[in-house]
């Protein structure tokens, strides 16, 4: 049992958290390179006391970093170093289902990873590890997030499969139809390898997708335009901020341990005498508990 320190990764449409007390931007250095920005550290008052919160804008303040250039390893490592116990990601997504209309939120429970060329693991030569991604999100945290959307007055889908594409271009119509056939419900450019890295860092992860538009599978609809996406993002952003506040307020006073807190117990495969000291040094925050 411990106290909650919630990390919020803000995607398109969520660039700040207004309810933070004692807020200050703090630079957290990572051996994996530069994070997207400094981390906004503070706390949110609740009826039970205060919950520590760490906010990181995924694309940097001003949205200056494109999806393919987000240093997800540095971001997750920095949030771990900042004391986060759990991560809630907020992301703009396109809809692949008629019933998931713009303005609806989707609390994702599965992923299809179609990204390429992005470092997807903290581990590698000199320290090999394999974690399970069969259930890629935290059920407990996702339930809190879905309830928070509803309490904030939003419409939410409980569960959905997120197709992570490389970007920065939007899909072709053929790709959009293919992803629907695969069973994907929403599409975005940033959740992978973010979710994988959170699992390796032993931080439970939940993703709240904010639907901004229908992807181009609808034959009778005009192609998506960035101006339309931005307009919906701005509308979604207000609700996202309320959702974060409602989620924090709903947390139990004491954080019970999660099975995801210890996934590395059975994931390390490299023999102790074959481990690279330089690699181990880089993993001090992510895997220091078991190294």
d(CA 200, CA 204): 10
Average pLDDT of the chain is: 93
- Give catalytic status of residue 213 as yes or no: yes
Mean local confidence (pLDDT), 143-162: 97
- Percent pLDDT > 70 in the chain is 95
| pLDDT 10s digits, 194-229 | 999 999 999 999 999 999 899 999 887 666 666 677
From the list 18, 213, 238, 261, the catalytic residue is 213
Report yes or no on 276 lying in a domain.
yes
Q: Is the pLDDT of residue 15 over 70?
A: no
From the list 37, 109, 215, 276, the catalytic residue is 215
d(CA 81, CA 56): 13
Report yes or no on 287 lying in a domain.
no
Give CA angle at 272 (271, 275), nearest 5°.
85
Report yes or no on 23 lying in a domain.
yes
Report yes or no on 290 lying in a domain.
no
The whole-number pLDDT of residue 223 equals 66
Report yes or no on 172 lying in a domain.
yes
| pLDDT 10s digits, 77-96 | 999 999 999 999 999 999 99
**Structural domain total, the chain:** 1
Neighbours of 257 (CB within 10 A): 9
| pLDDT 10s digits, 184-196 | 999 999 999 999 9
The whole-number pLDDT of residue 138 equals 98
Report yes or no on 289 lying in a domain.
no
The conformation of residue 67, written as its DSSP 8-state character, comes to G
CB 206 within 8 A of CB 143: no
Report yes or no on 26 lying in a domain.
yes
| pLDDT 10s digits, 225-266 | 666 777 777 777 788 889 999 999 999 999 999 999 999 999
d(CA 49, CA 231): 36
The predicted model scores a pTM of 0.95
> In terms of pLDDT, which residue wins out, 197 or 23?
197
In this structure, what CATH number is given to the domain that contains residue 74?
3.40.50.1580
Q: Which domain holds residue 108?
A: 5-282
DSSP β-ladder status, 105-107 and 156-158:
parallel
Report yes or no on 223 lying in a domain.
yes
- Give catalytic status of residue 238 as yes or no: no
């Amino acid at each position: 049992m411990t106290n909650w320190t919630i990390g919020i990764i803000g995607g398109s449409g969520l660039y700040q958290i207004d309810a933070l007390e004692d807020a200050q931007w703090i630079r957290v250095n990572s051996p994996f390179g530069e994070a997207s920005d400094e981390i906004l550290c503070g706390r949110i008052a609740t009826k039970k006391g205060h919950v520590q919160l760490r906010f990181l804008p995924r694309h940097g303040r001003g949205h200056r970093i494109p999806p393919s250039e987000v240093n997800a390893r540095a971001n997750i490592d920095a949030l771990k170093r900042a004391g986060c116990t759990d991560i809630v990601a907020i992301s703009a997504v396109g809809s692949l289902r008629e019933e998931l209309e713009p303005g609806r939120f989707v609390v994702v429970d599965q992923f299809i990873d179609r990204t390429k060329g992005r470092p997807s693991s903290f581990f590698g030569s000199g320290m090999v590890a394999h974690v399970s991604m069969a259930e890629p999100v935290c059920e407990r945290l996702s339930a809190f997030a879905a309830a928070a959307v509803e309490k904030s007055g939003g419409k939410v889908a409980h569960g959905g499969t997120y197709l992570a594409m490389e970007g920065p271009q939007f899909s072709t119509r053929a790709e959009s139809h293919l992803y629907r056939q695969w069973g994907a419900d929403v599409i975005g450019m940033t959740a992978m390898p973010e979710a994988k890295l959170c699992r390796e860092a032993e931080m439970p992860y939940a993703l709240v997708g904010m639907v901004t538009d229908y992807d181009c599978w609808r034959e009778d609809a005009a192609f998506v335009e960035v101006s339309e996406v931005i307009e919906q993002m701005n509308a979604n952003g207000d609700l996202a901020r309320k959702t974060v506040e409602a989620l924090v307020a709903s947390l139990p006073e004491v954080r019970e341990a999660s099975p995801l807190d210890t996934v590395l117990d059975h994931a390390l495969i490299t023999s102790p005498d074959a481990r690279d000291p330089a690699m181990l040094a880089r993993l001090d925050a992510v895997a220091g508990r078991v190294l």
